[in-house]
Amino acid sequence: MIESRDVGRAVLNRDAMVYPAMRELIEGGYLDCRHEVVEGEPRHVCRLTEKGREAYVATASAWEQIR
């Protein structure tokens, strides 16, 4: 039997779903992504914007209320 945590993990591991979601977050002003060198390696680094942090806090709070 597949448990809900396994379904979530499977969904999040699919590149075909992650990148379109990230693009929406970037276009919506929730994420800021840049190419940086981290420990000598080029990386695509994303950080929450202020709008993203506010949305995260609001969503986490709502999720805690329904759990």
CATH code, domain with 62: 1.10.10.10
Can you give the pLDDT at residue 65?
Answer: 86
Domain of residue 34 covers 4-66
Contact 53, 59 (CB under 8 A): no
**Number of domains within the chain:** 1
62 has a pLDDT exceeding 80: yes
| Beta carbons within 8 Å of 49's beta carbon, 6+ residues apart | 29, 30, 31, 32
**Terminus-to-terminus CA distance in the chain, angstroms?**
23
Q: What's the whole-number mean pLDDT along residues 16-28? A: 89
Q: What's the whole-number mean pLDDT along residues 38-43? A: 92
Can you give the pLDDT at residue 38?
Answer: 86
Compute φ and ψ for 25, nearest 5 degrees. Answer: -65, -40
35 has a pLDDT exceeding 70: yes
* pTM score: 0.64
